A and B are shown apart, each in its own frame.
Chain A
Amino acid sequence: MSRAVVQLQHITKTYDGLAAVDDLSLEVFAGEFLTLLGPSGCGKTTILRLIAGFEAPDRGDIRIDDVRVNALPPNRRDVNTVFQSYALFPHMNVFDNVAFGLKLKGLQRNAVAERVRDVLEMVQLGGMETRRVTQLSGGQQQRVAFARAVVNEPLVLLLDEPLSALDYRLRKEMQLELKRLHRQLGITFIFVTHDQEEAITMSDRIIVMNQGRVEQSGSPKQIYEEPANLFVARFVGEINTFDGSVEAAGADWLTVRIHGTDFRLVNKRGFRSGDPVKVLLRPEDLQIQKTEPADGKPSLAGAVEELIYKGSTVDVIVRLTDGKPVYVTEFFNENAAYIFYERGQKVWLRWIDRWEVVLPDA
């Protein structure tokens, strides 16, 4: 693993007695695109503000590049921020906004002009130097905010929901562009969002947070496919949760009874016979069968309740015989150019072995 450029060690930050960040530790590695993901109010912005130096922790240490920076003011930390509201300097034009940091560093006038031009070129704002920032569109302001921060070549770039003010299309476009710029610049990014799709699309690593604590840290694939707990499973993507009980268990297998049917699953967490568990399945991992499976393998019986056409997919809501609704996503492909079920049609649900997630029932 590469070098840790930012370390938070047992950080606590309280506002009016309420902990916004609660004994939280994390490490950020050189060059990675790290995303902090979590619901509104879970402390994402607070963490960025602690790293940037706008807030001081009540307890714990912050280290940047292996130096304790708890008492260092923001202007002396080698990190830069892209603010959610952009926070451009309204009395300056595009050039002066971007040049601000370089001028403060005492760079030569020519060198400043050259660097600013290069960065503006990179964010596709070449030729806009003399425009007033108040006259730019939202997407352009966003680019200026980004350029203003990266032109200083910080060790770490902090981005607080930088895309949340943009419309859907522009947002998708900027996601790709940010990825490209990250690769091109080689700067470590700490990106904040509460949009799980955005987090999964963009990140090398995601830290899922809740109420000022880390719930899970891992690659987008790990977070999505192997959620560490129910919170992560429910927060990241759609998921079906089945109550089950372990009927029998071995070292690497277990039998779980779900809605009256016994399924033989993989035992990854040392469950024992009698443990209550939750079995989690993504809608796209479930398969619908129109006839009762003849191979004798277990399945869940139910009836189709609703079909929702989504363009490239169809969402099917199946109500199990005991009344529980289950969400299934079917994709159009060469095998299924046409997906159709009658309302009330009887169906059987199953999934590919090992694709389930079994968690203790908290």
Chain B
Amino acid sequence: MTRHRFFTRFYLGFIFVFLYLPLLVLIVYSFNQSRYSTNWTGWTLHWYRSLWDNTLLLDAAVNSLIVAGISSVTATAIGTLAAVAFYRYRFIGRKVLYSLVYVVMMSPDIVMGISLLIFFMLVGLPIGFQTLLLSHITFCLPFVVVTVYARISGFDPRVIEAARDLGAGEFQTFRYILLPLLMPAVVSGWLLSFTLSLDDVIVSFFVTGPTFEILPLKIYSMVRLGVKPEVNALSTVLFGFTLIMVTLSQLLVKERKR
């Protein structure tokens, strides 16, 4: 009994160390005085200060947040409606369309990036903010559809019929029955989109240009010249941000449940 428990504890601990030790190292080293990140010379907030002064980097961060914010909200809205449509209506090509959602999700980022680039060139859209936003919406969309659809297909269809029976039109059924019941899936779909958009490198690499720089690409170009402690500081800030987001969304879902 106790040995068994000891083993499970140990195992769990091991997994957490495996997952979080690299992050921890990164966080600790963001406070390191040394310019060369491998040897420890003492605590400092210097890199955070210099990060704050690095307007190029900050601009890129703001751009990233803007793109992630808009694209995740848009993808969530479209994706939720799409999932509801897949569930509620029987139309020709429904199955094919749903399979295509998976195709988009599974296709390698590099293929996605190149094909989007070619598409934008064909329609004559200049590479920049618009194209980046469109691309992010595109690759986030399937994740929302799949997340929401998974939940909706577990519903008792009679519940929706009951709403109709009691006098609710299509919109009211969506607003008062479907949406509240789908909320946890919608929130997690949105969160997934937000993080996917925030840390995308490969697709973004193809579909944005110097007119609109985003954080992952900026970091990528910085580390090609060696990892500066500034990057550590930035990553720590980003990590903290993600942590707050996740906690917030979990709380939101909990709140709904009660």
Contacts and interface: CB of A to CB of B under 8 A. Distances in A.
Interface of A: 52-54, 73-75, 79-81, 83, 85, 87-91, 100-101, 104-105, 148-149, 152
A101 B156 contact: no
Contact of A89 (B159, B164, B256): B159
B163 interface: yes
B225 to A, nearest CB: 53
B45 to A, nearest CB: 47
Nearest to B181: A91
A75 B174 CA distance: 14
What are the 10 closest A-B residue pairs judged by CB atoms, nearest first? A87-B158, A101-B166, A87-B162, A74-B164, A104-B167, A87-B159, A75-B167, A91-B180, A81-B165, A83-B158
Contacts of B172: 104
Nearest to B155: A90
Given A75-B169, A104-B172, A87 B161 contact: yes
Contacts of A75: 164-169
B162 A89 contact: yes
11 contacts: A75-B169, A79-B165, A83-B161, A87-B156, A87-B158, A87-B161, A88-B159, A90-B159, A101-B166, A101-B167, A105-B167
B66 to A, nearest CB: 33
Contacts of A74: 161, 164-165
A80 B164 contact: no
Nearest to B257: A91
A89 B163 contact: yes
B166 A80 contact: yes
A133 to B, nearest CB: 11
Nearest to B176: A100
A56 B32 CA distance: 73
Interface string B134-152: 0000000000000000000
Nearest to A158: B165
Contacts of B156: 85, 87
B177 interface: yes
A152 B167 CA distance: 10
Interface in B161-220: 161-169, 172, 176-177, 180-181
Nearest to B256: A91
Nearest to A160: B158
B158 to A, nearest CB: 4
Contacts of A91: 180-181, 256
A73 B161 CA distance: 11
Contact of A83 (B162, B167, B169): B162
Given A89-B177, A91-B180, A91-B181, A100 B166 contact: yes
Given A87-B161, A104-B166, 5 more contacts: A75-B166, A87-B159, A90-B159, A101-B166, A149-B165
